[in-house]
Amino acid sequence: MSSTRRRFLKTGLLAGSTLVASGCNTEVSVTQEEATIGQPLKILVLGGTGFIGPHMVREALRRGHQVELFNRGRTNNVLFPDLKLHKGDRDNDLRSLEDGSWDAVIDNSGYVPRHVENSARLLSSAVSHYLYISTVSVYGDVSGPVVNEDTAVGTLDDESVEEVTGETYGPLKALCEQRVFSEIGTERTTILRPTYICGPGDRTDRYTYWPARTLLGGEMLWPGTPDDDIQIIDVRDLANFTVDCLEQQIKGIFNTVTPPLSFRMGDLLHDCQKVIANDMSPTWVSTEFLTEQKVGLPIWEDPKGEMAILNRVDGSRALAAGLRNRPTLETARDTVAWWKTLPAERTSIFNAGLTLAREDELLRIWHDLNAAA
């Protein structure tokens, strides 16, 4: 642990106070030992009320920093009633940011290069450090044996495109990164490139599908083999590393992932079974079968497919800079605990994965094929 970090963790301005972290129903107690002394930072978060933003806001507050928000006031607008909100729209209204100054900005709501360029240009003289949340989807050429921060990013024929689709998302995020660099400069910029972000509060259900479906019990379809590699990043680990980067002035580009080859579909199954001891019985169906049936499943890739390398992204640079991945069992446990707090109308439909009817149909075809063979 660096001396800066030690200084930050020593004793507290916020001794004994309690921050209620709504959104994932977690209560965060700030103890004497945990809170910040030294130089609390004044941090602006662009998009602090979605999924990842609240975890970052809470972590920064837990360490005693001052946090201000910028957003339109539409998403989870009751989440942080005590924080200063600069109301505005990245698309066309940054006026509420014109007179402020901050030590650092966390930009986690930038998808369109024009938006990111405008905020970075405006904030260039008002912040010391710009941290942009990007994605591993920026990588364009994934044909090599490894994907690291030097791998070429994807490009767009028409860079004026602003519609975010499955195809444009990655190259647009790459352009956003470039806009931050050109407006802020490399020496004041941090770019984090997470893979699937998961944990309490995730609205996509891509990771959540697996433990949430396990909860329902019965026969469950699992894709490929237990050895197929996957990668995730727990949202709390991403939030910790984000605040570390600001406190310790960590600059540069970092993939933020679980270490490659450290987590496989079989480990995910094991985590789900350990957290949820019920009658769920897994049936592994082959990749060929899923391809024939035109079925894709969240966070899993055909290990021989062209995108498989994106489940083996090199994260060693972030690891060396201090990123710590919690045990995946903890992610499963806390995701299940959060999922159980949600209303039935939310949990009755998965935002990713198979419907129960489709899963049932696929399992029936799979068993018929095997019986006939």
Ligand X SMILES: NC(=O)c1ccc[n+]([C@@H]2O[C@H](COP(=O)([O-])OP(=O)(O)OC[C@H]3O[C@@H](n4cnc5c(N)ncnc54)[C@H](OP(=O)(O)O)[C@@H]3O)[C@@H](O)[C@H]2O)c1
Give the interface segment with ligand X, choosing from 72-80, 97-105, 118-126, 264-272 (CB under 6 A).
Answer: 72-80
Phi then psi dihedrals of residue 59, to 5 deg: -65, -40
Region of 276 (left: φ > 0; alpha: ψ -120 to 50; beta: rest) is beta
Size of the site for ligand X (CB under 6 A): 24
Q: Which is nearer to ligand X, 36 or 71 (CB)?
A: 71
Among 4, 66, 75, 124, binds ligand X (CB under 6 A): 75
Give the interface segment with ligand X, choosing from 50-58, 151-159, 271-279, 351-359 (CB under 6 A).
Answer: 50-58
The string of DSSP letters for 74-119 reads -SSTTS-TTSEEEE-BTTTB-GGGTT--EEEEEE-S--SHHHHHHH
Which has the closest alpha carbon to 122: 180, 178, 204, 163? 180
Residue 238 sits in the site that holds ligand X (CB under 6 A): no
Q: Which is nearer to ligand X, 50 or 282 (CB)?
A: 50
Residue 47 sits in the site that holds ligand X (CB under 6 A): yes
Residue 189 sits in the site that holds ligand X (CB under 6 A): no
Kindly state the smallest distance separating residue 332's Cβ from ligand X, in Å. 16
Among 25, 31, 89, 273, binds ligand X (CB under 6 A): 89
Site string for ligand X, 292-331 (x = CB under 6 A): ----------------------------------------
Q: Token digits for 363?
A: 């399992």
Q: Say if CB 104 and CB 43 are below 8 A apart.
A: yes
Q: Token digits for 90?
A: 């990245």
Q: Are strands 26-29 and 18-21 parallel, antiparallel or unpaired?
A: antiparallel
Site string for ligand X, 106-125 (x = CB under 6 A): --xx----------------
The string of DSSP letters for 323-360 reads --PPPHHHHHHHHHHHHTTS-HHHHTS-SSS--HHHHH
Burial class (CB in 10 A: 0-12, 13-18, 19+), 281: exposed
> CA–CA separation, 373 vs 362, rounded Å?
17
Among 36, 118, 119, 135, binds ligand X (CB under 6 A): 135
> CA–CA separation, 193 vs 252, rounded Å?
11
Give the interface segment with ligand X, choosing from 3-11, 194-202, 212-220, 355-363 (CB under 6 A).
Answer: 194-202
Calculate the CA 160 to chain-centre distance: 26
Give the interface segment with ligand X, choosing from 84-92, 97-105, 245-253, 306-314 (CB under 6 A).
Answer: 84-92
Q: At 11, is the secondary structure helix, strand, or coil?
A: coil
Among 19, 28, 38, 72, binds ligand X (CB under 6 A): 72
CB atoms within 10 A of CB 279: 7
Which neighbouring-strand residues pair with 19?
28
Residue 48 sits in the site that holds ligand X (CB under 6 A): yes
Kindly state the smallest distance separating residue 68's Cβ from ligand X, in Å. 13
Residue 53 sits in the site that holds ligand X (CB under 6 A): yes
Sign, Cα dihedral of 135, 165, 23, 269:
negative
> CA–CA separation, 145 vs 197, rounded Å?
24
Give the interface segment with ligand X, choosing from 7-15, 34-42, 49-57, 260-268 (CB under 6 A).
Answer: 49-57
Question: Rule CB under 6 A: which of 19-38 touch ligand X?
Answer: none
Residue 236 sits in the site that holds ligand X (CB under 6 A): no
Residue 90 sits in the site that holds ligand X (CB under 6 A): yes
Residue 74 sits in the site that holds ligand X (CB under 6 A): yes
Among 31, 66, 148, 204, binds ligand X (CB under 6 A): 204
Instruction: Give contact residues for ligand X (rule: CB under 6 A).
Output: 47-53, 71-75, 89-91, 108-109, 133, 135, 173, 194, 196-197, 204
